[in-house]
Amino acid sequence: MSFKNRGLAALSLLFLVHGSLAETSPTKNPQQNLAPSGRERVSINTGWRFLRSETNPDKVSYAERPGLPSTSGTEPLEPWILPAGNDFIKDPTKRHQRPAGNPKTDVVFTQKSFDDKAWETVDLPHDWAIKGPFYTGNNVPVSGGMGRLPIHGVGWYRRKITLVSEDEGKLIYLDIDGAMSYAMVWLNGNLVGGWPHPYNSFRLDLTPYLVLGDSNQLAIRLENPTESSRWYPGGGIYRNVWLTKINPVHVDQWGTYITSKEVSTQSATIDTSIQVKNKANVSSQVEVVTDVHIFDSRVGRVGQRVASFPSVTLNILGGEVQTLNGSVKIENPRLWGPPPIQRPNLYVAITRLRSRNKTMDTYETQFGIRSVIYSADQGLLVNGEHVRIQGVNQHHDLGALGAAFNVRAAERQLEVLQELGCNAIRMSHNPPAPELLELTDQMGFLVINEVFDMWQLQKTTADYHLLFSDWYEPDLRAFLRRDRNHPSVLAWSFGNEVGEQTTGESGAVLARRLHEIVREEDPTRHTTASMNAAEPNMPFPQALDIVSLNYQGEGFRDTPAYSNLPGRKTKPLYADFHKAFPEKMILSSETAATVSTRGTYIFPVTQDISAPVNDTSGGNSTLLHVSAYELYTANFGSSPDKVFAAQDKNPYVAGEFVWSGWDYLGEPTPYYSARSSYFGIIDLAGFKKDRFYLYQSRWRPDLKMAHILPHWTWPNRVGQTTPVHVFSAASEAELFLNGKSQGTKKKEGPSYRFRWDDVKYQPGELHVVTYKNNGVWAEDTVRSAGKAAKLEMQADRTVINADGNDLSFVTVKIVDDNEITVPQASNVITFSVSGAGEIIATDNGDPTDFTAFPSKERKAFNGLALAIIRSKAQKSGFINVMATAEGLKAVQVNLTSA
């Protein structure tokens, strides 16, 4: 009897569960939970064998596609992969029939007998490209757009899976949270299936191919074409991978959908839709019970029960899926909303399937109770309160860690953004890691969740347009079902700057089709697609619930500084869209595209409030640096000052998502000879650019802060004009150079910074006093630095978890004898570590630094460098981190892993 048949005959076994909250809680390392509740979810992240080849080592290909190896002489595997999406195709007649048996292609890497001892041993999440080396110069396999790292090629992952006697009778699913890309999965030499989308999560049923014991060989093949992305995609199985062991009668994958209505602080009605699946060949009777509890996200703990849905008994036939709907009222609900004016309170619904007094399945769904109104005139209202969207765009990479997801690294990014005053994230331009949305739920960020960067019209030769026609429906529905219970998700975006926005009615037809799918899966949220070219008189925006504008709101190439540039010129279009669509909320899904290099200042400084970067305007194409006066932009961009003015002139606009929050790998505009972007408010290492304080003065107007730029160490500029700018929420400011007033400035009209553009440099001290509400608001001082003398070190966290995943980010500064940061210091720093931790990466935020990220030697960039320390699994104790540099006093810091 096969494993599957034995399993379906044993329906009354008691199984183990690892509930969905505990499985992926960002505060915990994903580990097996042994609560006896009918479901077991086991991390299989460790102990993989890995091989990467820049050429095709196996004569396998998904299909005949540009950028992929030719399938000539071999059998394309696409017919075996397409059926994996069938559960997400609504029309049964459009689902795919799997060919009988295995393909004729014999792949030695999938066989149990293959010896993989010579392969590299890796743990997941894993990014095969991030260790480098970087490609430099021209005519390289991977250019600046994709980060100059070796993302391309074929990767194989192999691992044994052990099934014990307690697993008999279970269904065994493989759940992959993300794999880059064209994933294909074999078990014991049998092609199970796959999923080509590089960012979507997916599930495959391993049950028919499993045997009891430790001889089950899992093999996963990935392939990254060159020219498949416009940014750094990473490579490999870069998110978590799980085995889910479950009864044949169970809550289906992403099978709960929870919504709230009639929401107030006095009461709220909660509706549930629960899909129960029976994969056995016999019918079953089950009782379905769902309880609602308070959920404490800080510790990942289920709290007090506050409501129970009426229990229902289902008679479910073999092979059937039934949907159960229910409703319950919660008194005095704790509402979910964004800080600081609201709190991100969470609940958890625990659904149990019971038969013959035994729990057959337990499924946990984290959710929040909130109301959202998308107002054309007022903007966004959450729980009846106006919330201005102060958002940023974020790519999926984590800087020096690459695409390999790490909860702490993502949490750190969000913490710094929250300090900025940011309250919203646009996921650019792909589904995020599941744990990232758990973090946004817990921390109270609003999210625009986005799934496609292109549709049928390509942006690069080997991008998703090759898959769109076959996969857009399963990809879109899977994305929606996975994420629709997250209260942080504000709206769904099904496109970013797609070519179809200007193709007239044909593009609008496709947009309406995608809109319909979204509303079928989630009628409670609005849809959108970001437009950088569609205008109000075109049919494309008619298909959207929300008007999302990329750069068009503030206009681009529309001022004298940009007048000589080629390309489309657009006046500010907020008012035009508002007039054309008076019933639709408008937001800017991308604004600014300001570029700068942290701590770098280039003279002279433009007198304009916004200017394109070039060699005579804020740029240096030899050093590949851009001035950090935060006035310079990509050719299509605008400075923050110009963006703020446009928004203040049109107060009905719901807010903005700045391009971008953090620098990211790839897309290094304006210098494609570099490795990483210049767009971030925060650099790739996590160091704040001056622009951070400009946005903070806007987004946190009650924060008593003042920030002077530039630094004041210019030995070669004595007597030369060196403009001084100050960012603050104050209304008036007076600047002093060595105690002498340089004059008082007021913010008048559309002004968002204080400027003293005629200051002549003299070494010493700059001091600013700012005023607001008839009193002193905040002060700041910068001083000229002396010769570099020593290192200073600070860890963002001195106690980390001994789980092999937790991180401490350690910053090193080069300072003089008076502990003033030496702002242009570039000494080589050597990092070392001993004890219960290890250095996994270093960085400095310089987009031109091609030192491999795992290197323990790193030049400081403008006085700063970073080391990322990871705990060792199951090894507690002290971690000693030391930094040395020739001629400077060394420094160390002690961490604790517990």
The residues that are catalytic are 497, 590
Eight-state DSSP code of residue 196: -
How many angstroms from the chain centroid is the CA of residue 854? 22
Q: Are 494 and 512 in contact (CB under 8 A)?
A: no
Angle of the 691-699 helix axis to the 640-649 helix axis, nearest 10: 20
Q: Which 8-state DSSP code applies to residue 136?
A: -
Q: At residue 439, what is the residue type?
A: L
Please list, in sequence order, all residues whose beta carbon lies within 8 angstroms of the beta carbon of residue 460, skipping any fewer than 6 positions away: 227, 228, 229, 230
Q: Are strands 807-815 and 790-795 parallel, antiparallel or unpaired?
A: antiparallel
Largest Cα separation within the chain, whole Å, is 91
401 contacts 357 by C-beta, under 8 angstroms: no
Token look-up 């009777």 returns 285
Q: 3-class secondary structure for 458-501?
A: CCCCCCHHHCHHHHHHHHHHHHHHHHCCCCCEEEEEEEECCHHH
Characterize the bridge pairing of strands 372-375 and 379-382: antiparallel
For residue 241 the two structure tokens come to: 């991978």
Residue 607, Cβ density class (10 Å: 0-12 exposed, 13-18 middle, ≥19 buried): exposed
433 vs 406: CA distance, rounded Å = 10
Q: How far apart are CA 264 and CA 332, in angstroms?
A: 8
Distant-in-sequence contacts of 561-566, Cβ < 8 A, 24+ apart: 561/606, 561/608, 561/610, 561/611, 561/612, 561/617, 562/611, 562/612, 562/635, 565/612, 565/635
CB-based burial of residue 580 (10 Å sphere; 0-12 exposed, 13-18 middle, 19+ buried)? middle
User: For residues 197 and 288, what is the distance between their CA atoms, to the nearest angstrom?
Assistant: 34
Radius of gyration of the chain (CA): 28
CA–CA distance from 68 to each of 183, 372, 455 (Å)? Answer: 13, 44, 19
Beta bridge partners, 656, equal: 390, 588
Residues 6+ away with beta carbon under 8 Å from 32: 18, 40, 41, 42, 43
Q: Which residue has the tokens 């006035």?
A: 631
CA dihedral 713, 715, 721, 726 (to 10 degrees): 0
**What does the DSSP assignment read for 843-872?**
E-S-TT--S-TT-SEEE-BTTEEEEEEEEP
Residue by residue, DSSP assigns 414-473 as: HHHHHHHT--EEEE-SS---HHHHHHHHHHT-EEEEE--S-SSS-SSTTSGGGTHHHHHH
Q: Which of 637, 660, 654 is nearest to 587 (CA)?
A: 654
